Amino acid sequence: AYLDPGNLEADLQQGAYTRFRLVWVLWWATVMGLVLQEMSARLGVVTGKSLSETARERYPRWVSNAVYVNMEVAVIGSDIQEVVGSAIAINLLFPRVPLWAGCLITGLDTFTFMAVHFLGARYLEALITTLVGAMAVCFFVNWGEVDTPAGASLAGWAAPTMKRYMVMQAVGTIGAVIMPHNLYLHSGLVLSRKVARNKPNRVYAAIWYARIESAGALLMSFFINLAVVAVNADRFFDPGC
């Protein structure tokens, strides 16, 4: 969810329109995503139930239903750009495939992930790791081929400022990074770990390892996103635009 077409689209526009002025937004959005994801993982580890199961049990029915509807709307809103972006990418690679067919292919791809998850969470994690690894290699190679001044990607961190025309891009970056369904997913994925919940030290250890896992994954996603920003900042940024 931190490296989907919506994130890459936001990175493309951030680099092309603002160069490195909004890197601090990308960083702190990733940090906030880590905080929320760690809280969701902790909930799953301690209770043995996912975030959705806990909400259904602890809240009144009308509240849980309202939360469900809000989350569905948020998921649809954040996934529309993923489907359309994937369809555009398929059309660029294979011009004979129209956009509507690309949307259908993207939908079938979702069922592919569900089928892999049916085999077990470890298989899904291995598949995702392989795909993210391929993305990291490709984007880091691209980053190495552009001329990024030393320290330029960190220039905006010292004085995080934002001009008026950057506001829309900043909002898009936050929305692309923090996605609600990822929190529900992670609170469910940690349930595949066998934790002796009657032993507090085992629970604390599981929470600590989940935190390390999330931090490592999100740090890698940040650098991949930063690579896309840097490449487009070097190739397409124009101060007069």
* CA torsion, ordered 198, 199, 202, 203, to nearest 10 deg: 50
Higher pLDDT, residue 60 or 107: 60
Sorting pLDDT into bands at 50, 70 and 90, what band is 122? confident
Distances (CA, A) of 48 to 43, 94, 100, 182, 206: 8, 45, 41, 18, 12
- The SS3 of residue 76 is helix
Q: What is the pLDDT of residue 89?
A: 87
How many residues would you count in the chain? 241
Over range 110-130, report the average pLDDT.
84
What mean pLDDT comes out for the span 186-211? 85
Q: Report pTM.
A: 0.83
- Using one digit for the tens of pLDDT, what is the confidence trace for 179-190? 777 888 888 888
Tens digit of pLDDT for each residue in 209-235?
989 988 998 999 999 999 999 999 888
Q: Output the pLDDT for position 141.
A: 94
Calculate what percentage of the chain has a pLDDT beyond 70: 95
